[in-house]
């Protein structure tokens, strides 16, 4: 195996063994604290343009199976791990971690002190980095074109409408880079689902006649979708809506709120979130770098429904008159706990009670 390097924009260089694709890449270096679920994390489209550092020291011990991918293929820019297991043991495993990355064309550095990388990120914030076979000290001041702007969402979003049969309510899933588990949660509830491109307008949706709309997770800065905010507002004004992760952020932005970037984001499977109405604390999986800015919410329009216990950031919103709810975390889990699956049920209850869109009055 060849020697490889992770070079951070601070000038720090971490040496390891190159596995997966044997050429370099550039991305935003982030970390995830989950103890399991590396396959789901690898294939989560929200990691597009990022180099993911796994905090858990042993990766690959149960291999890769044919069931747990959250998208058809990984979209992330690279992977950094500590100890690589080259002989996985699990009855469902079809390939190894290293083989999976090689087949997907994703570079990875193994044998790295990931604790030191995490400390750097926690102190300095997420930063640009390069995976390379040479220990040069220059990191581009600007990431390659595929890792900023709407090109990230273009990369992961569907280009055509995809239909999934069901006998229940018809839900339009706006695809900013949705996870398979999100779709499966709707199908499990009996919904008919139309996965639609992120550029879908209110006029486009009217022809589909959905009973509800779900705005998915996805990569990057939500402000890159600013041109779509008027359409998002119009959609949510007429159709019962649920926003998850990036979907939560863009709905808030469409109604005049702002967002800001966290120092190192929330990425892991054990983030405690307090439900304001009940006082209950739910353990949630999360993967995001941006949050809705405190005090930017119009309290005459929205109420805050959930808060992060650790940093008190906004984790959920509910419109005071319209059937619109949003959450920053992932109620579908995968990986992580499914404590908040009831959010899907609440959304579908809203859809049924609202009777869907009032097309005759929509303009």
> Does residue 175 contact residue 245 with C-beta atoms inside 8 Å?
no
Which pLDDT score, from 0 to 100, does residue 357 have? 59
Residue 235 and residue 211 in contact, taking contact as beta carbons nearer than 8 Å: no
258 burial type by CB count under 10 A (0-12 exposed, 13-18 middle, 19+ buried): middle
Rounded Cα distance between 15 and 334, Å, is 31
Instruction: Name the DSSP class of 47.
Output: G
Q: Which DSSP state fits 85?
A: P
Does residue 83 carry a pLDDT above 80?
A: yes
Residues carrying an active site annotation = 245, 330, 332
Per-residue pLDDT tens digits for 310-337: 999 999 999 999 999 999 999 999 999 9
Task: Please give the pLDDT value at position 342.
Answer: 94
Q: Do domains 3-147 and 156-354 have the same CATH topology?
A: no
Note the pLDDT tens digit of each residue in 176-217.
999 999 999 999 999 999 999 999 999 999 999 999 999 999
Task: Please name the residues in contact with 237: beta carbons below 8 A apart, sequence gap of 6 or more.
Answer: 322
Helices (H) and strands (E) in the chain, counts: 9, 19
CA distance 43 to 73: 6
pTM above 0.75, yes or no: yes
- Specify the DSSP class assigned to residue 61: T
pLDDT of residue 138: 65
Query: Residue 144 has what pLDDT?
Result: 44
Question: What pLDDT was estimated at residue 363?
Answer: 42
Dihedral of the alpha carbons of 343, 356, 70, 287, in degrees to the nearest 10: -50
Closest CA to 260 of 311, 216, 303: 311
* pLDDT tens per residue across span 246-277: 999 999 999 999 999 999 999 999 999 999 99
Residue 225 has pLDDT above 80, yes or no: yes
Domain edges within the chain: 3-147, 156-354
Both tokens assigned to 356: 């869907």
Closest among 264, 311, 28, 7 to 123, alpha carbons compared: 264
pLDDT at 141: 56
Q: What mean pLDDT do residues 28-56 have?
A: 96
Of 210, 236, 194, nearest to 356 by C-alpha is: 210
CA 221 to chain centre: 12
Q: Give 156-354's CATH code, choosing from 3.40.50.880, 3.40.50.620, 2.130.10.10, 1.20.1560.10.
A: 3.40.50.880
What was the pLDDT predicted at 20? 86
Residue 177 and residue 46 in contact, taking contact as beta carbons nearer than 8 Å: yes
* Contact present, 63 and 95 (Cβ < 8 Å): yes
Rounded to 5°, the CA angle 63-68-346 comes to: 145
Q: Is residue 14 very low, low, confident or very high in pLDDT (cuts 50, 70, 90)?
A: very high
Is pLDDT of 112 > 70? yes
Are 6 and 14 within 8 A, CB to CB?
yes
pLDDT at 151: 82
Q: Which residues make Cβ contacts (< 8 Å) with residue 45, sequence separation at least 6?
A: 70, 71, 75, 156, 177, 178, 179, 217, 218, 219
d(CA 54, CA 49): 16
Q: pLDDT confidence of 1, banded at 50, 70, 90?
A: confident
126-164 per-position pLDDT tens digit = 989 999 998 876 665 554 433 445 689 999 999 999 999
Pairing mode, if any, of strands 259-275 and 281-292? antiparallel
- Copy the structure tokens of residue 112: 């790295």
Distance, CA of 50 to CA of 53 (rounded, Å) = 10
So what CATH class is 3-147?
alpha beta
Of 17-26, 75-84, 191-200, minimum mean pLDDT range: 17-26
The pairing of strands 212-215 and 170-175 is: parallel
């Amino acid at each position: 195996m060849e020697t490889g390097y992770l070079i951070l924009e601070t000038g720090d260089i971490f040496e390891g063994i190159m596995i997966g694709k044997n050429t370099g890449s550039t991305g935003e270096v982030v970390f995830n604290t989950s103890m399991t679920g590396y396959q789901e994390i690898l294939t989560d489209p929200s990691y597009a343009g990022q180099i993911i550092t796994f905090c858990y020291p042993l990766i690959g011990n149960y291999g890769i199976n044919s069931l747990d991918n959250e998208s058809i293929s990984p979209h992330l820019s690279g992977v950094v791990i500590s100890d690589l297991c080259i002989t996985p043991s699990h009855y469902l495993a079809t390939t190894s971690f290293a083989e999976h990355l090689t087949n997907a064309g994703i570079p990875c550095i193994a044998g790295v002190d990931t604790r030191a990388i995490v400390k750097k990120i926690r102190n300095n914030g997420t930063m640009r980095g390069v995976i390379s076979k040479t220990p040069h000290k220059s990191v581009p001041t600007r990431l390659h074109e595929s890792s900023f702007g709407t090109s990230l969402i273009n990369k992961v979003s569907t280009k055509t409408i995809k239909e999934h049969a069901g006998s229940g309510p018809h839900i339009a899933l706006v695809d900013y880079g949705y996870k398979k588990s999100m779709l499966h949660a709707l199908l499990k509830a009996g919904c008919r689902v139309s996965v639609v491109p992120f550029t879908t307008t209110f006029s486009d949706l009217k022809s589909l006649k959905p009973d509800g709309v779900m705005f998915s997770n996805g990569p990057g800065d939500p402000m890159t979708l600013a041109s779509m905010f008027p359409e998002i507002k119009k959609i949510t004004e007429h159709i019962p809506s649920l926003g998850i992760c990036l979907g939560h952020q863009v709905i808030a932005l469409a109604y005049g709120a702002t967002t800001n970037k966290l120092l190192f984001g929330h990425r892991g499977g054990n983030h405690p979130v307090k439900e304001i109405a009940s006082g209950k604390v739910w353990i949630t999986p999360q993967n995001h770098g941006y949050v809705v800015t405190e005090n930017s919410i119009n309290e005459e329009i929205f109420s805050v429904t959930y808060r992060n216990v650790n940093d008190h950031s906004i984790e959920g919103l509910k419109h005071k008159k319209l059937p619109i709810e949003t959450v920053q975390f992932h109620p579908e889990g995968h990986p992580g706990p499914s404590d908040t699956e009831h959010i899907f049920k609440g959304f579908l209850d809203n859809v049924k009670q609202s009777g869907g869109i009032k097309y005759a009055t929509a303009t």
